[in-house]
């Protein structure tokens, strides 16, 4: 949507997302009817059709700042319930949450964290905000994947427990080989469908191209552009 002239391919049409599939454009329209005038803040892990019904998109890294920048008493936050609860804990804005979940992150529990700590009380725990609240309550740091990388680099703890999708955790571990990482390996079955052979085949045959209805794309782009504007204003 931000580069409409580019060709976008998906190697496996079955590679979906439990979080994105937890809400539809019709759901958003019904929420607007129920809460007239309340801005809709939508996580980027959503369809173009859902973004088209939204006021602004957010990432896990900028969600709190964008919600506060809206300067309104309450917002509708979609679709991740746990990320919404995390944002609510960081701002005075009332958050109306949708009950969508990432099927990988929702499997983590606070008991998992405590079990790992039993063998190593000095273990440092960092968690993605898509994890349930009891996991975040046990964590030493909560943040996006980019935030995790920065946190590990700044503190250089000897042993770190990563509460996030196992392959995403590889991004953090690969950056700091001197740190020992403990990874309870919950894998995303959807991302695993996109293998290297399938990517090669997709590039060689130009399958399968992702297309978005131009009218939907134009409206969705407004929500994405607004997020980018907030990010640029924060950096300036």
Query: For residue 92, is the peptide bond before it cis, meaning its omega torsion is within 30 degrees of 0?
Result: no
**For residue range 164-214, what is the model confidence (pLDDT) as tens digits?**
887 776 777 778 888 888 877 777 888 888 999 999 999 999 999 999 999
* In the block, residue with structure tokens 């609510």: 88
User: pLDDT band for position 162 (50/70/90)?
Assistant: confident
pLDDT number for residue 3: 82
Average pLDDT over residues 62-76: 95
Average pLDDT over residues 87-109: 93
State yes or no: pLDDT of 136 exceeds 80.
yes
**Domain extents in the chain:** 20-101+212-235, 105-187
**For residue range 17-63, what is the model confidence (pLDDT) as tens digits?**
999 999 999 999 999 999 999 999 999 999 999 999 999 999 999 99
* Cα–Cα distance for residue pair 63/42, rounded to 1 Å: 9
Ramachandran angles phi, psi of 158, nearest 5° = -70, -40
* Cα–Cα distance for residue pair 39/74, rounded to 1 Å: 8
Domain 20-101+212-235 -> CATH class? alpha beta
* Cα–Cα distance for residue pair 101/21, rounded to 1 Å: 10
Q: Could you tell me the fold of the domain covering 105-187?
A: Rossmann fold (3.40.50)
Average pLDDT over residues 125-134: 93
pLDDT number for residue 165: 80
Whether the pTM exceeds 0.85: the reply is yes
**For residue range 209-236, what is the model confidence (pLDDT) as tens digits?**
999 999 999 999 999 999 998 877 766 5
Same fold, 20-101+212-235 and 105-187: yes
């Amino acid at each position: 949507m931000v580069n409409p002239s580019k060709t976008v391919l998906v190697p496996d049409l079955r590679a979906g997302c439990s979080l994105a599939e937890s809400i539809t454009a019709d759901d958003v329209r019904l929420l607007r009817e129920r809460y007239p005038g309340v801005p809709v803040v939508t996580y980027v892990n959503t369809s173009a059709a859902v973004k088209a019904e939204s006021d602004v998109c957010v990432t896990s890294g900028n969600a709190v700042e964008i919600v506060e920048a809206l300067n309104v008493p309450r917002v509708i936050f979609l679709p991740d319930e746990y990320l919404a609860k995390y944002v609510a804990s960081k701002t005075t804005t009332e958050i109306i949450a949708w009950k969508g979940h990432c099927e990988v992150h929702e499997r983590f529990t606070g008991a998992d964290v405590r079990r790992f700590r039993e063998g190593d009380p000095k273990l440092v725990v960092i968690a993605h905000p898509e994890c349930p609240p009891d996991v975040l309550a046990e964590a030493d740091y909560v943040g996006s994947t980019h935030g995790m990388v920065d946190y590990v680099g700044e503190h250089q703890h000897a042993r770190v427990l990563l509460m996030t999708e196992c392959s995403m955790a590889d991004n953090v571990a690969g950056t700091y080989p001197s740190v020992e990482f403990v990874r309870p390996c919950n894998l995303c079955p959807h991302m695993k469908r996109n293998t290297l052979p399938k990517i090669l085949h997709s590039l060689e045959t130009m399958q399968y191209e992702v297309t978005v209805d131009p009218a939907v794309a134009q409206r969705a782009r407004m929500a994405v552009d607004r997020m980018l504007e907030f990010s640029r204003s924060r950096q300036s």
